[in-house]
Structure 1
Amino acid sequence: MTEKTLFTKIEAVMKLTVLGSGTSHGVPVISCRCRVCKSADSRDRRLRASALLTVDDSGTGRNFLIDVGPDFREQALRVDLCSLDGVFLTHPHADHIHGIDDLRIFSRKNSCAMNSDAELAKRFPETSGKGLPVYMSSESEKLVRENFKYIFMTHEKGGGTPKLDIVCTDSYDEKNPLKISGMSVVPVPLVHGCMNTTGWIFIEEKNEEKHCIAYLTDCNAITENSLERIRACSAGGVIDHLVIDALRLRPHSTHNSFDQALAYADKIGAVHTWFTHLSHDYTHEEIGTLLESKILEHENLRKIAAGAGSVEPAFDGLELSC
């Protein structure tokens, strides 16, 4: 089942909302006067790439953020985000991590001065426990701790900082997935130029069948081992949705081109494939038209599209459910 709506609520056990579908500049790009940046189509306004996974765990909706970029505050307000149960980080580039300070709203660590002031401590209580779980690779953890030292330091003065519980995911795979809120989560190693990033596969058991959502950005290469991991995760079930990096038509040194993304999508075989991390080269409508012809070049995608499947550009506010 596919839902194409702008920030409307739907009933689903596992739902992914695309909070941002744009590249690192965002669209419109500052000072740009191209037809895409000046477009009146709301689907051409692309905040930095991010998504929100909502899981109905025993009747209680739990929210998990994928990346926390500089547009996170605006994205959270758009969807009226009032609770957050965890964050999955793909990598620590600015467009995916520089909204990290706004996680204070969901998990706060007080300074020594605040804790020692009874009135402040009462008005702004520190989050109990270890804080908000943030799942990432050890490579990402190293850079997060280096680049945001103030978060992990003891402060004598000033306000609060995000209280984060970093969970290293290096040891998890298709044979040993993370178990969170009734779903299984598997990290997928990706190649992003000269660095490694992490894609995520979210798996639920529904009517004795696996249903999966795969979120794979930022990347310009997916190794055969990673493709095998994706196939193993969906064995005995289906990948309902694949959200994959597809920057533009022209090749790029660190991101999939449209042709690269289509080739990987053909191998992965999701029912619905959605391009994200889009530049301002083409409008939403133009990308859709382009893909209609390009999927004919790929046998598996051609068969999927002939059935109930699709390959389309994502847009901010797109909601996908299993």
Structure 2
Amino acid sequence: MATVEEIIFVGTGTSSSVPVISCLTSPKRDCKVCLSTLTPEGRKNIRKNTSLLVRFRKHADPPGARLRNVLIDCGKTFQSSAIEIFPRYGVRELDGVIITHGHADACFGLDDLRGWTLGGAIQPYIDIHLSPESMDVISRTFPFLVDSALATGGGQVADFKFHVFDPEKPFTIHGLDFIPLAAHHGIYQTTQEPYLCYGFKFDDISYISDTNLIPLKTMEIMKDKTKVFIVDCLRRKHSFKNMAPCEAYTALQPAALYMFSGYTASFAFYSGRVNRSSENCQRFIKDVLCWIYTSCRSSRL
């Protein structure tokens, strides 16, 4: 058994991150969000690959023991995010890493985890939990991380123990249960079948980082058991692989809701201006503000 103490948003941006180089170098200089990142007040608009750190207390740990840390996704910008965020909040050991899907912004930072395991610098190895599909992607993309005998150069690679979870069953990391939440995230171009990204329900939090459609079966898993819903939102309008804010709200109406992941340069963090295009959006915004200011949990932004 375990209890979640806090969650830290390690990244809340798209695969390309924000700012976008084409905006920063455009002669028109018409992207206010990207340009704002060059100013002190606009630095909060710098958004790197979506990633979440779950910090929890294992009930069997002795009094005074450190919080357990599980990282969900380790994308291309993980290293720079960790350097900035981990020291700020006293995060060192990683008790597990969960990969939601096999896209670059979710798993291409795995090689940077060598900083934890080389010579046992922080810990001897890291447990990686992932779906069969993601295991296949990583085996092809980073064969040396799966089998160190395939390493070249000095052979200094991260040391992992891979755990392939069953998408139909919960798995446990140091007493905290994670229930896979299958969600559509675009399609396979060859077959036109849905491409799946796995969110997770842990404690009373449901987290889906990348989706354009949440199947009814997944909704039933979350329904009436979710107090905080963290869900994908790429743009203000629906796209072929990501949801829009109002869709995120109407998909599930728990006691509190926070929409965050995959922000493009169309969203400004520090701006107080909001396009209230519907009653649902107004209710969505109200719930977000209520959760940020009154939740007993810590949402480290």
Decide: shared fold, TM above 0.5: yes
Q: Paired residue for 1:100?
A: 110
SS of 2:230's partner is strand
Residues 1:303 and 1:98: Cα distance change in structure 2 (over 3 Å):
closer
Contact 1:305 1:311 in 2 (8 A): no
1:161 aligns with 2:157: yes
C-alpha contact 1:127 1:163 (8 A) present in aligned 2: no
What aligned pairs does 1:113-192 form with structure 2 within 5 A after superposition? 124=119, 131-153=125-147, 154=149, 155=151, 158-170=154-166, 172-173=168-169, 177-192=170-185
Distance in 1 between the 2:79 and 2:239 partners? 29
Equivalent residue, structure 2, for 1:76: 82
Residue 65 of structure 1 corresponds to which residue in structure 2? 71
For residue 224 of structure 1, report the CA deviation from its aligned partner.
0.3
Instruction: Note the C-alpha offset of 1:243.
Output: 1.4
**Matched residue type, 1:135:** H
For residues 1-322 of structure 1, the aligned pairs below 5 Å read 13-33=4-24, 34-39=31-36, 40=39, 41-57=42-58, 58=61, 59-78=65-84, 79-80=86-87, 81-108=91-118, 124=119, 131-153=125-147, 154=149, 155=151, 158-170=154-166, 172-173=168-169, 177-194=170-187, 195-203=195-203, 212-231=204-223, 234=225, 239-264=226-251, 267-285=252-270, 289-290=274-275, 293=276, 296-297=279-280, 302=283, 305=286, 309-310=290-291, 318-319=299-300
Q: Distance in 2 between matches of 1:303 and 1:139?
A: 34
Report if aligned partners of 2:237, 2:243 keep a CA contact under 8 Å in 1. no
Q: Give 1:55 deviation, angstroms.
A: 1.2
Say whether the 8 Å CA contact 2:95–2:126 is kept in structure 1: yes
Specify the SS of the correspondent of 2:136. Answer: helix
The aligned length equals 267
CA deviation map 1:64-88 (0-9, x unaligned): 1110011111111112242111101
Distance change >3 Å, CA 228–CA 127, structure 1 → 2:
same
Structure 2: gaps (5+ residues):
25-30, 188-194
1:106 alignment partner, SS class? helix
Higher RCO by CA contacts (8 Å cutoff, separation 6 or greater): 1
- What letter corresponds to residue 162 of structure 1 in structure 2? A
Q: Distance in 1 between matches of 2:277 and 2:292?
A: 10
**Could you tell me how far apart the structure 1 residues matched to 2:292 and 2:214 are?**
19
Distance 1:183 1:83, change over 3 A: same
Q: CA RMSD in A?
A: 3.0
Residues 1:243 and 1:28: Cα distance change in structure 2 (over 3 Å): same
Q: Which amino acid in structure 1 is aligned with residue 132 of structure 2?
A: S
Q: CA, structure 1 residues 311+297, in 2 after alignment: closer, same or farther (shift >3 Å)?
A: farther
Amino acid at match of 2:257: H
- Equivalent residues of 1:65, 1:88 under 8 A apart: yes
Cα separation, 2, equivalents of 1:302 and 1:250: 17
Helix, strand or coil at the partner of 1:190: strand
SS in 2 for 1:262: helix
Describe the superposition over 1:239-260 as per-residue Cα deviations: whole angstroms up to 9, x where unpaired: 3322110000132111112232
Percent identity over the alignment is 26
Structure 2 length-normalised TM: 0.78
Amino acid at match of 2:199: G
What SS is found at the alignment partner of 1:185?
Answer: strand
4+ runs deviating over 6 angstroms:
126-129
SS of structure 2 residue aligned to 1:31? helix
* Partner secondary structure for residue 266 of structure 2: coil
Q: Any idea what the Cα deviations from partners look like across 1:185-222, whole Å, max 9, x if unmatched?
A: 1110010011111001111xxxxxxxx12210111000
Unpaired runs of 5+ in structure 1? 1-11, 109-123, 204-211
Q: How many Å separate the matches in 2 of 1:269 and 1:246?
A: 17
